[in-house]
Amino acid sequence: MPNAAAHAGAILTIDLDAVAANWRLLRDRLGRAECAAVLKADAYGLGLAPVARRLAREGCRSFFVAQAGEALSLRALLPEADIYVLNGLAHGAEADYAAHGLRPVLNTLDEIARWRVACRAAGAALPAVLNIDTGMARLGLAPDEVDALANEPAGLEGIRVVYTMSHMACAYARANPMNESQRRLFDAARSRLPPCSASFANSPGIFLGPEYHYDLARPGAALFGLQPQSGEPNPMAQVVRLQGKILQLRRVDRGMTVGYGATHRFAEPRLLATVAVGYGDGYFRTLGNRGSGFIGDIRVPVVGRISMDLVTFDVTDAPGRETVPGATIDIVGPGHDVDALAAEAGTIGYEVLTALGSRYHRVYLGAGR
């Protein structure tokens, strides 16, 4: 075992072949629409560089990040890619966007005006995306701003608008009527603006049917194995495995308690394993007395509170040869995916992934070269 792996409290294995397989599955489902990749927040916590390189190798050409800084990091990795900045045109960074070929998602009339100026300064109609708010009320042009633009199309002069886009609020819930109402609002707004390609679907949106696909889809979560549609089977390949190391075994007697606050009292003698993962690694404190580890297919429950660097599992039911110091417990693994961990923690898989700690030893499968 290389030393870094020996020093770490847990091994985080990220399967890039599974990321690639997930991108191909989405691409095939999209048919004629292009499949981009959303790699904000360090590729959902899994590592911008390895993920971006693998997807580019797979044939992905369009990438979305949230911030200009993320876009510059990505530009250094992928000189040829189309890189979009979801959070828009950062004040004072207009020339950087132009110099590095970053494509802002224009969210306000002010951003449109500033990009027009940047295009004039560059002497070229530089590409950008126009974001129309259809119900998120977060980023994008409000209805009155769409009106203003529709009545004054010169506002877009000198800009190469490559897509109009919008973002869905409830796409993970197939039956939610908001999906169709947002789509109708999107179509209505688009019909009033100069004709242009369109982008609408995030990961769950891709699974709502071809009328949601338009010309370019923007999946993030599904690339990393998260379930796209709640309450339906998950068609995505699992990408993440997290194996926490057992530091110590501890026999406890009836009447004893474990951890801060003494929140769990044992009714009978049990065997505990203390594992080197805690809330300082993004293993949420809400998992205290609720979370699960797995040893093979045997569930070993979290007992007591989560500490900063430690968690205790009740491993009484696991085979003795598997419960020794240095052995590992699957915190995320074949029998317990990120979504399952998130459900126990009272959150969503997105938050589990983006919280994955910096102390884990990371192993990338399928990175190539």
Which residues participate in catalysis according to the annotation? 40, 260
The burial class, CB within 10 Å (0-12 / 13-18 / 19+), for 354 is middle
Give the 3-state secondary structure percentages of the chain, helix then strand then coil, rounded to 5.
35, 25, 40
What minimum distance in Å lies between the beta carbon of 354 and ligand PLP?
11
Kindly tell me which residue out of 220, 259, 282, 293 binds ligand PLP, with binding defined by CB under 6 A. Answer: 220
x-marked contacts with ligand PLP along 22-61 as a string, rule CB under 6 A: ----------------x-x---------------------
Query: Which range, of 217-225, 253-261, 267-275, 311-319, touches ligand PLP by CB under 6 A?
Result: 217-225
Q: Which long-range contacts (CB under 8 A, 24 or more apart) does 143-150 make?
A: 143/189, 145/108, 145/109, 146/189, 146/192, 146/193, 148/109, 149/109, 149/112, 149/193, 150/192, 150/193
Nearer to ligand PLP, 167 or 213 (CB): 167
Nearer to ligand PLP, 219 or 278 (CB): 219
Nearer to ligand PLP, 54 or 167 (CB): 167
What minimum distance in Å lies between the beta carbon of 274 and ligand PLP?
35
Residues 57-96 that bind ligand PLP (CB under 6 A): 86
- The Cα–Cα gap between 330 and 293 comes to 6
Q: Quote the radius of gyration of the chain (alpha carbons, Å).
A: 24
- The Cα–Cα gap between 37 and 352 comes to 19
Q: In what order do the strands lie in the sheet with 62-65?
A: 34-35, 216-217, 198-199, 160-165, 127-131, 102-106, 82-85, 62-65, 37-38
Residues 163-202 that bind ligand PLP (CB under 6 A): 167, 202
Contacts of 110 (CB under 8 A, 6+ apart): none
What minimum distance in Å lies between the beta carbon of 55 and ligand PLP?
14
Query: Which range, of 27-35, 213-221, 244-252, 276-284, touches ligand PLP by CB under 6 A?
Result: 213-221
Residue 203 lies near ligand PLP (rule: CB under 6 A): yes
Residue 218 lies near ligand PLP (rule: CB under 6 A): yes
What minimum distance in Å lies between the beta carbon of 53 and ligand PLP?
20
Nearer to ligand PLP, 329 or 353 (CB): 353
Residues 99-118 that bind ligand PLP (CB under 6 A): none
What minimum distance in Å lies between the beta carbon of 202 and ligand PLP?
3
Contact 298, 306 (CB under 8 A): no
Residue 221 lies near ligand PLP (rule: CB under 6 A): yes
Nearer to ligand PLP, 179 or 274 (CB): 179
Residue 310, CB-side half-sphere exposure with 13 Å CA sphere: 13
Among left, alpha and beta (phi > 0; psi -120 to 50; other), residue 237 is: beta
Which chain residues interact with ligand PLP by CB under 6 A?
38, 40, 86, 167, 202-203, 218-222
